[in-house]
Copies of this chain bind each other. A is one copy, B any other.
Amino acid sequence: MSGRLYVVGIGPGSPDMMTPQAHAALQDAERIYGYRTYLELLAPHFPEKQLIASDMRQELQRCEEALADANEGHRVAVVCSGDAGVYGMASPVLELAPAYPEVDVEVVCGVTAALAGAAVLGAPLAHDFCVVSLSDLLTPWPVIEKRLKAAAWADLCLCLYNPRSHHRPEHLARACRILQEASMPPERPCGVVKNIGRDEQEAHCMALSKLETYEADMFTTVFIGNSETRIVGGCLVTPRGYRS
């Protein structure tokens, strides 16, 4: 009998941003695997489910356990915050899945922080945009630097994930300097959102030069406008096209 593994993006955290499809997948699962913090968010809404928590950096082990469980004919879910496919668990699960031939994997998408944070600020990603993580755990820093330069050169709106962690407090400042060296002006409108969709949500607009010294944390998403982005009525707004 074949098993099923749902890789589910639960959105930014609040249940009203989780899709009915994601909710149905979690209801269908016998057990839910995930990072401790996300399972704590889910626990009150799925009181009858068995939740199997693991810590950060145990992602591959978590995938293997969930795949082995499903391979015995069970229906299980692996959860991620935001979307399952954006820096999420869909990729490692699908890479490991061929070793578990009895498992049907279904990826269930969700609202990622780029979209949820943009809505809080206004419409900063309303034209072509780029999503870049500043974490160099799995990506060499020169690759990240190249991507920032490319975004600046091509006038792409930019959304930065993981702007800061304990081990890399200076990455956001470095990114801001790289963008300015790539001739992005210091007055370029930017914005930050902390704790998207949670009670402690906080959002600010500021110039790129101010962003350089902003104290981001692990729960901050950063937005950098393109050459047409403006602050309009307190919102960060990128036009849908070029006026000229």
Residues of A within 8 A of B (CB): 9, 11, 14-21, 24, 83-88, 90-92, 94-95, 97-98, 105, 107-112, 115-116, 118-120, 122-133, 137-140, 143-144, 146-147, 149-151, 153-156, 232-233, 235, 237-242
Contacts and interface: CB of A to CB of B under 8 A. Distances in A.
Q: Can you tell how many copies of this chain the complex includes?
A: 2
B239 A91 contact: yes
A232 B126 contact: no
Contacts of A122: 90, 94, 107
Contacts of A232: 94-95, 97-98
A145 to B, nearest CB: 10
By CB atoms of chain B within 10 A, which of A84, A85, A110 has the most?
Answer: A85
By CB atoms of chain B within 10 A, which of A94, A107, A137, A156 has the most?
Answer: A94
B85 A126 contact: yes
A197 to B, nearest CB: 9
